[in-house]
Amino acid sequence: MADDIGVLIVDDSALMRNLIGRMVESTPGLIVAEKAMNGIFALRKIPRINPDIIVLDLEMPEMNGIEFLKERKKLGIEIPVIILSAAARRGAELTMEALALGASDFIQKPSDTGGDDIYAVKDQLTGMLLGYGSKYRHLAGKKPVSIDYTKYELKRQLTPELTPSLSTNTFTHIKSSLGGVVSPAKPPTPLRKPGKTEIIAIGISTGGPDALRFLCARLDPDLSVPIVVVQHMPPGFTNEFAKSLDRVCPLEVKEAEDGDLIKPGRILIAQGNKHLELERKTLAVMAHLSDDPLVSGHRPSADVLFASVAKVYSNQALGVIMTGMGRDGAEQLGVIYREGGVTLGQDEASSVVYGMPRVAFELGHVMEQVTLENMARRICSIAKGQG
């Protein structure tokens, strides 16, 4: 249909092209615009098909993904690109290079094309395609596709085995969000007034790599409050991702390790497949990593991070929930609010996927909605006690 988001699939594997094609065609709002076996064929087809988004493999003959992205940049092509990345360390390094060259996001290739991980990959990939493709359409002046992104992970996340901590009232409220815009619930009553900000905690998912690069590059060099981040990302990628952020951020950025000190001027990125919690010891606050079960369908989970931040820092915490599918972080952001901390949520217009921040807003857990453009400025202002 004319209003469907057109996807160009670029991969030298016929099996992978067909697999991704079937995922796209089975998703309402998406359509395969064309397929190409390498970057050269993709560049030839783009002027004719004018796709809304590109799915790109990195390792291909004649013109690989990195070469394609360099050429795309030279030609001024602004169509968003989602990377299909291999799991090996070399794959992680190439993926971060691709993000630095302008790719919007990435997804790990399924290791078993006939296994259960196909379903998880499909949910993630199609959510990215709808999110980035719709944003591009809007910016390019095409009719945007209206999608309720809170639906996308509910079928996996809102099940008893994945969300044992959800109350009946919370479950009912989240389900009500599927029908469209819902007025925010009554916010929690803070137990105390906000104090001096001693920690900044950020939860983010789909759309995060781009958003975090933008945010980190704009933080004040003299920001002395530590920052801890949960970005949903597979294991093996978060170390390279932290290094890539460190290159553009005026503050130190590193992948969190068990026992890391929470210290001023440093940003810790949660490891893939490890929960990140903060623990107060006699002389300092330290990072603790765990293999505890998934929470809100994720490990690492923003809910886990926010809960520990509220426990350790009470009213001296600033919690931020940003672009992402599903509802991770939305519930426990309210605990930071209730403890007297400050909470921010990314607004709908600047979110690639308005899922996590939307649920948090509807639950009444967001004090203030902020655009991505203004997020770094607002975080620094609050952290420095400037209101």
Mean pLDDT of 319-338: 97
Q: Given the residues 205, 296, 301, 308, select the one marked as catalytic.
A: 205
Lowest mean pLDDT among 34-43, 163-172, 306-315: 163-172
HSE-up (13 A, CA, CB side) for residue 348:
11
From the candidates 57, 303, 328, 347, give the one annotated as an active-site residue.
Answer: 328
Among the residue ranges 72-86, 89-103, 178-192, the one predicted with the least confidence is 178-192
- Does residue 247 have a pLDDT over 90? yes
| 290-314 per-residue burial string, b: 16 or more CB within 10 A, e: under 16 | eeeebbbbbbbbbbbbbbbbbbbbb
Q: 3-state SS string over 165-199?
A: CCCHHHHHHHHHHHHCCCCCCCCCCCCCCCCCCCE
pLDDT on residue 160: 29
Tell me if residue 232 is catalytic. yes
The pLDDT tens digits for 160-212 are 222 223 222 322 232 333 344 557 899 999 999 999 999 999 999 999 999 99
Which tokens sit at 359? 């649920």
Class of domain 5-147: alpha beta
Helix (H, G, I), strand (E, B) or coil at 277: strand
The boundaries of every CATH 3.40.50.180 domain in the chain are 156-383
Lowest mean pLDDT among 76-85, 152-161, 311-320, 365-374: 152-161
| Cβ partners under 8 Å of residue 196, min gap 6 | 316, 385
Q: Which of 85, 210, 232, 308 is catalytic?
A: 232
Instruction: Name the residue with higher pLDDT: 161 or 55.
Output: 55
Please tell me the pTM assigned to this model. Answer: 0.88
In the chain, what percentage of residues exceed pLDDT 90? 79
Is residue 87 predicted with pLDDT exceeding 80?
A: no
Domain with CATH 3.40.50.2300 in the chain: 5-147
For the chain, how long is the longest CA-to-CA vector?
Answer: 65
pLDDT tens figures, 252-291: 999 999 999 999 999 999 999 999 999 999 999 999 999 9
More confident residue, 360 or 387: 360
The yes-or-no answer on residue 328 being catalytic is yes
Class of domain 156-383: alpha beta
With CA atoms as reference, report the closest residue to 47 among 72, 30, 84, 16: 72
